[in-house]
Structure 1
Amino acid sequence: MAGIALASQSSSQAGQAKADSQGIERLDREFLTVIRFANLWEIPMGVLAQERGSTQTVKDVGKVLAQDHTKLNTIVAQLARQFNVKLPDQPTSSQKSWIADISSKNGLEFDRTFADRLRAAHGTVFGLVAEVRAGTRNAAIRDFAQQANNIVMKHMTLLEGTGDVSSDHGMFAEASARTIAYPENSLGRSDMLVGGIVVVVMIATTLAVVRTFSTRGSAE
């Protein structure tokens, strides 16, 4: 009986190991790809901030971002090999435009553009990281999502601490790196306008239904 129990346990462990090595879902793959995209443009921007930041705070934040994303890049490459995920080798076209925008600035204007853009990007990817951390069935992906979650939180706090993040967060949706259909899924003004109209219509419909039921209840 003991031998049977040990064999059963061994079989169970083998099954779990197989699940961990093969059980990567669509969202897990998207997560690895998004982190890779983030690394591709945020590492050089962190390096640039160390060179061009007008304050020591901005320089220090740039150094932390570059170091942390270099570490994430090493891990994401290892996981991609393990789970056979093809990673991009260049930033998205939108990210390239952000690199050009930040690189064209100097002095205080550089500080503001750097902090605003990087804070926006971290803010939008944060939701995906949290979703994967909460829902993935793969232990390796979960551990990486936890690391990424901690780093994204740290970076948002550091960028906000520069005092250069704008109070107008309208660009946050635009800065999103999350997508399945590469190379990007940026929201333009027309997309945001349509989305806003849909939300307004839904709210109005809900209120109308609530009022109708309230009226019927009073009449009865």
Structure 2
Amino acid sequence: MGNTGQLSSNSDRMWAQLMLRGTSRWTIATLVAILGALFPLAGIVFAEQEQPDAPAEPGQATAIEREFMTVIRFANLWEIPMGQLAAKKGSTQVVKDVGTEIAADHTQLDIDIKKLAGQFGVSLPEQASSSQQSWMTEIAGKSGAEFDRTFVDRLRAAHGTVFGLVSEVRAGTRNEIIRGFAETANVIVMKHMRLLESTGLVDAEHGMFAQAAARTNGYPENRLSKSAIIMAIVLGAVMVVGTLIVVRTGTRHGTAER
């Protein structure tokens, strides 16, 4: 009986040690798997960081400069007719005057942007974007005070949204010609925001006003593409599964040897 009890005690002790070793191995394996999964993710994050716009060849525009010209053209395509409509349909003289001035400024801006784009071989859109067309339809469908409020709201939001890009090009472009145009555009956008705000119809709590000020990404240079995120997840999962399989196989072999 004594020998039997001792054997049972030794067996329990050995089993407890095996369980402890197994638990330790799985704990270590989990930590290794997590750390291993982070390495490909970190690598993709660094690789996907958006680099500063490279200097363009003489006579060519950089990617952000082409985007800038396209955005200005889009703005002209819908703000000119909306400004003209406000000059006729506004229910107050203030809104009429604001519409007249905005239409006139964007008409001249459109002449200038076509000339600038021609110098750098940049193709410009011929019609407003689908979102802008829906705004035009919305504004045109209003009347009276509601027309005034919708006109001011939509245009103030649009100017607030484009202001950051215009300022970025003005501050960062290496091209003197584009820099000069960006400075002019910057002045006009600021002027129009002030004009629209002078109507007293801009509500700081309103959705469209807040949307204009919101940045979807605080640091654009750190944006990750969807494909990069998916790749990071896949690689991380492979690392986790692979590590756990290796450790589990090793644990089984170690148990069998005992």
Considering the TM-score relative to the shorter chain, is it more than 0.5? yes
Query: Are 1:122 and 2:165 counterparts?
Result: no
Distance across 2 between alignment mates of 1:140 and 1:44? 28
| Counterpart for residue 95 of structure 2 | 58
| Counterpart for residue 110 of structure 1 | 147
In the alignment, is the contact (CA less than 8 A) between 2:66 and 2:122 conserved in 1?
Answer: yes
| Counterpart for residue 79 of structure 2 | 42
CA deviation vs aligned residue, 1:11-63 (integer Å, no higher than 9, x gap): xxxxxxxx895142110000000000000000000000011000000000000
| Counterpart for residue 93 of structure 1 | 130
Q: 2:63 aligns with which of 8, 20, 26?
A: 26
Question: Unaligned 5+ residue runs, structure 2?
Answer: 1-55, 214-258
In the alignment, is the contact (CA less than 8 A) between 1:20 and 1:138 conserved in 2?
Answer: no
Query: Are 1:135 and 2:139 counterparts?
Result: no
CA RMSD in angstroms, aligned pairs only? 1.7
Q: Percent identity?
A: 65
Note closer, same or farther for the CA distance 1:104–1:47 as it changes in structure 2 (3 Å cut).
Answer: same
Structure with bigger gyration radius: 2
| TM-score normalised to structure 1 length | 0.69
CA drift at 1:164: 1.1
| Counterpart for residue 185 of structure 2 | 148
Output the amino acid matched with 2:182: A
| TM-score normalised to structure 2 length | 0.59
In the alignment, is the contact (CA less than 8 A) between 1:121 and 1:172 conserved in 2?
Answer: no
Q: 1:77 aligns with which of 106, 114, 123?
A: 114
Output the amino acid matched with 2:177: A
In the alignment, is the contact (CA less than 8 A) between 2:90 and 2:148 conserved in 1?
Answer: yes
How many aligned positions are there? 158
| Counterpart for residue 6 of structure 1 | none
Question: Unaligned 5+ residue runs, structure 1?
Answer: 1-18, 177-220
Distance across 1 between alignment mates of 2:183 and 2:119? 18
| Counterpart for residue 208 of structure 2 | 171
